[in-house]
Structure 1
Amino acid sequence: MITLYSYPGLFGVADNNGYGLKVFAFLRLAGLRFVHRHIVDASGAPRGQLPYITDGPETVGDSDTIIAHLARAHGARLDDRLTRAQRDTGLLITRLLDDLYWVMSYARWKDDRFWPAFRDALLRAHPDLTEAGLQAARAFNFQRYHYQGIGRFDPEAAYARGLADLAVLANLVPPDGYLFGPEPTSVDAGLYGFIANIHFFPIDTPLRRCVASRANLVRHCTAMHAAVNASDREEAGAQP
């Protein structure tokens, strides 16, 4: 049995981190059975980062490496029909999402305007978390932001990067269907992982306002959310 280890969910989203939600979405879309374990301490994870999976004797970290493993070991074929050009575009989108990640994280943990709402939401949703633990995580993230570089930007300059990323994504997402046709692929799972963690969070950051103003991003996000969570409804309907 595959076990996915990732951060806790929040605001109805299965993981409040874009990378973990990306893997969760891929597993659901691929129809693979798995157990989802929410954890906070990543010290035991490969390279000390979440998400990761265990699959029999194997432990696999990094969201893209996990997806490649699932395709190879379990026949997950979401991307089989993609052309070489589409795969190249998908890689460019994936790298852009890597950039967007830092701005999203900055908005939650560093910006004093939004940090209290994020902190309080986590504490309400997950009573096992403590304010002291979240403050320690915040201090750790400040160090990460400094060494990555985003922490040296003032807020408006930091958000300008994320807004530019979202503008490009909005130009690429079609008005209907998914990125490369009527069926979702791993790139859609990745896009959902990040946009859902902006759109469904009722914290009024510049990123959320931008997503709300782009009807195609909202449509894609809500369509993916419905597709990814369809099995929850099916399981609930099967119960007496």
Structure 2
Amino acid sequence: MLTLHQAPAAFGIGNISPFCLKLESYLRMTGVPYTAKAADYGKAPKGKIPFIEEDGSFLGDSQLIIEHLKRKHGDPLDAKLGEEDVARGHLVRRVLEDSLYWHIVYERWVTQEGWQVYKPVFEAIFPPVVGKLIVPMIRRGMTKAMHTQGLGRHRPEEILEMGKADVSAVAMVLGDKPFLLGENPASFDAALYAFIVSIIAFPVDSPLRKYTLEQQNLVRYCERFQQRFFANGPLHAPRQ
């Protein structure tokens, strides 16, 4: 049995981490059996979550894990996709993971309104005394990482316009299709759901969240995805 090591649930969705939520979404979409538990960061092979334990081995990085699962358990979602669809899905995933992700970081870790909501949720991952000491250090590290990545060098109004451009592009590609590439879900839908719902569900009425909620096709998409793949427990805490 595969063990998924991940962060806790919050905000009415399965995980505070969009990367963890992406991987669990993929597992549910493909029916690969798994159990989930709170991550032991000391075992994380790449020093981050999510990671899996399978057959006595550990593997990190959500996308590398998905590619491993395809090789080991088959590829029911993407096997019949054409090259153009695979390329389109890849580009959307990279926008979500390498660009829009940093807007999620900004909303949660940098803005004061977001931090007031996110801080107690993130602190709860650690023992009480440890959390109070280590979380401010992690926040400083995330802020520094945003500056190194580049988004943190911009003014708030510039950051907002960049985030809106990402959301608009993703909404345009989705259009009125049930799933990103058509009538049937593909592995790329795991990322689309995880990152968009992470913006929508975060309970701070930021300009980026308001803009995302205005994209009704994205809202309906998240509702449809959650009902199909998380109907038996969208609010679950990691299973021990």
Same fold at TM > 0.5: yes
Q: 1:13-69 deviations in whole A, cap 9, x for unaligned?
A: 111111111000000010111111223x64532221211111113322111111111
The gaps in structure 1 that reach 5 residues or longer are 234-240
| Distance change >3 Å, CA 141–CA 58, structure 1 → 2 | same
CA distance in 2, matches of 1:52, 1:13: 19
Matches within 5 A, 1:143-154: 143-154=144-155
Name the counterpart of 1:167: 168
Counting only pairs closer than 5 Å after superposition, residues 14-163 of structure 1 correspond to structure 2 as: 14-39=14-39, 42-97=41-96, 98-122=98-122, 128=127, 130-163=131-164
Pick closer, same or farther for the CA change 1:128–1:219 going to 2, 3 Å: farther
Partners of 2:155 and 2:50 in 1: how far apart? 29
What is the root-mean-square deviation of aligned Cα atoms in Å? Answer: 2.0
Between the aligned partners of 2:169 and 2:30, the Cα distance in structure 1 is 27
**Which residue is 2:238 aligned to?**
none
Corresponding residue of 1:216: 217
Which SS does the other structure have where 1:65 is aligned? helix
CA–CA distance in 2 between the matches of 1:73 and 1:43?
26
**Deviation larger for 213-222 or 143-152:** 143-152
How many angstroms does 1:12 deviate by?
Answer: 1.8
**1:238: which partner in 2?**
none
> 130-139 vs 28-37, which deviates more?
130-139
Q: Secondary structure of the residue that 1:60 maps to in structure 2?
A: strand
Q: Distance in 2 between matches of 1:44 and 1:36?
A: 15
Instruction: Report if aligned partners of 1:146, 1:152 keep a CA contact under 8 Å in 2.
Output: yes
Farther-moved stretch of structure 1 (111-120 vs 205-214): 111-120
CA contact (8 A) 1:43 1:49 kept: no
Gaps of at least 5 residues in structure 2 are: 235-240
Percent identity between matched residues is 34
Task: Name whichever of 222-231 and 128-137 sits farther off.
Answer: 128-137
Contact 1:104/1:162 (8 A) holds in 2: no
The number of residues matched between the two structures is: 231
1:225-236 matched pairs, under 5 angstroms: 225-232=226-233
Read off the aligned partner of 1:108 and give its amino acid letter.
Answer: R
Please state whether the residue corresponding to 1:113 is helix, strand or coil: helix
TM-score, normalised by the number of residues in structure 2: 0.88
CA displacement, residues 148-195 of structure 1 (integer Å, 9 cap, x when unaligned):
222222222222221110010010113241112222111111101101
| SS at 2:111 equivalent | coil
Q: Using the alignment, how far apart are the partners of 1:157 and 1:67 within structure 2?
A: 34
With normalisation by structure 1, the TM-score equals 0.88
Task: Determine if contact 1:10/1:122 at 8 Å carries over to the other structure.
Answer: no
Distance 1:37 1:173, change over 3 A: same
